[in-house]
Amino acid sequence: MQTIELGRTGQQVSALALGAMRMGGDTDERDSVHILNRYLEIGGSFIDTANCYEWWSHPGTLGGQSEELLGRWMRDGNRRDQVFLATKGSAVPVFSPELWDDQGQPNWELARRTFEGAGADTLRHALDGSLRRLGTDHVDLYYVHVDDLNTPLEETLEALHGFVTAGKVRYLGWSNVRTWRLERIRQLCERNGWTLPVAVQQQHSYLRPGASADSASIVNFEQLDYLRAHPDQTLVAYSPILKGVYDSAAKRDGHWLMENYTGPDADARLAALAEVAGEAGVTPNQLVLAFLLQQESPRVLPLIGPRTREQFEGALPALDVKLSEEQLRRLSEAGA
């Protein structure tokens, strides 16, 4: 597997990151360990988790299962030094029995209203809990998981800088964040000598969000322009294949993720994708990953989150796809 530089840090990480969100939840320990071992086997290094994973699949808990599983896996094979380890804080909801209904289904509306946020004390406790579950004295990358508009940025950034100077965190990142906030973060870091986040983790794929889409989590044209102008921050693209909808028109039809992407522009890009996938001999899902892996401005680091062994293996052919300049141009220029 190829590597890319994280921001302008000099740190090389694998060009395809592995998300462990479902590990310890929807994906049982045996399959999780198999996927993790295979990822290392093919040269992967960048593993992503969060302290809240996967609270919604375990009624009565507030997450930590993914971090605990990764901690066991790293200890069992003495693998900590083989991994560039990322985790996140700020998104755990305040505990309430009302977070789950009688069927064990999560109440997302309540969770989004009561997430713990990025206050200094909250993040300190969150990071210490993550380090304990992961069984390590530091993480390589620590994200603010959900941008917290109710806590002064100065408080959050000073606390995060303290994590770095204490040696608990090597690099910082931010997720689910609007562009104006990224610029404000940059200004405050420059003014106060605080550590600048070098990773921006957002939902990003081949389809482009429609004009009516309004989500802090999805990369838009403005944010792409911002990241082109600031290559010291790498775009880590989660949900790069949008739950696998590219391979199936039936799956796209009515899928909640498609609410932000439907329209003539999406139709034109799907048509171009199908055409080039046929030429390259790969599935549309695989082609999307290959397309993102070959983006130069801004650089994109896709983050896959397979639930099964088959889904993981299904993503790997993308690593060997080399699109021509003409194919990349057709894919990039497609649209209404």
Region of 4 please: left (phi>0), alpha (psi -120 to 50) or beta.
Answer: beta
Write the DSSP assignment of 267-293 as a string of letters: HHHHHHHHHHHHHHTS-HHHHHHHHHH
- Residue 308 domain boundaries: 3-333
Would you state the pLDDT for residue 262? 87
CATH number assigned to the domain comprising residue 151: 3.20.20.100
Helix (H) or strand (E) holding 169: strand 169-175
Query: Which of these is catalytic: 39, 53, 238, 261?
Result: 53
Rounded to a whole number of angstroms, the CA Rg of the chain reads 19
User: How many CB atoms lie under 10 A from the CB of residue 328?
Assistant: 16
Question: pLDDT (tens digit, 0 to 9) for every residue of the chain, 336 residues total?
Answer: 999 999 999 999 999 999 999 999 999 999 999 999 999 999 999 999 999 999 999 899 999 999 999 999 999 999 999 999 999 999 999 999 999 999 999 999 999 999 999 999 999 999 999 999 999 999 999 999 999 999 999 999 999 999 999 999 999 999 999 999 999 999 999 999 999 999 999 999 999 998 888 899 999 999 999 999 999 999 999 999 999 999 999 999 989 989 999 899 999 999 999 999 999 999 999 999 999 999 999 999 999 999 999 999 999 999 999 999 999 999 999 998
Query: What is the number of domains present in the chain?
Result: 1
**Residue 53 among the catalytic residues:** yes
Total length of the chain:
336
Full-model pTM: 0.96
The DSSP H or E segment spanning 238 is strand 234-238
- Specify the pLDDT at position 182: 98
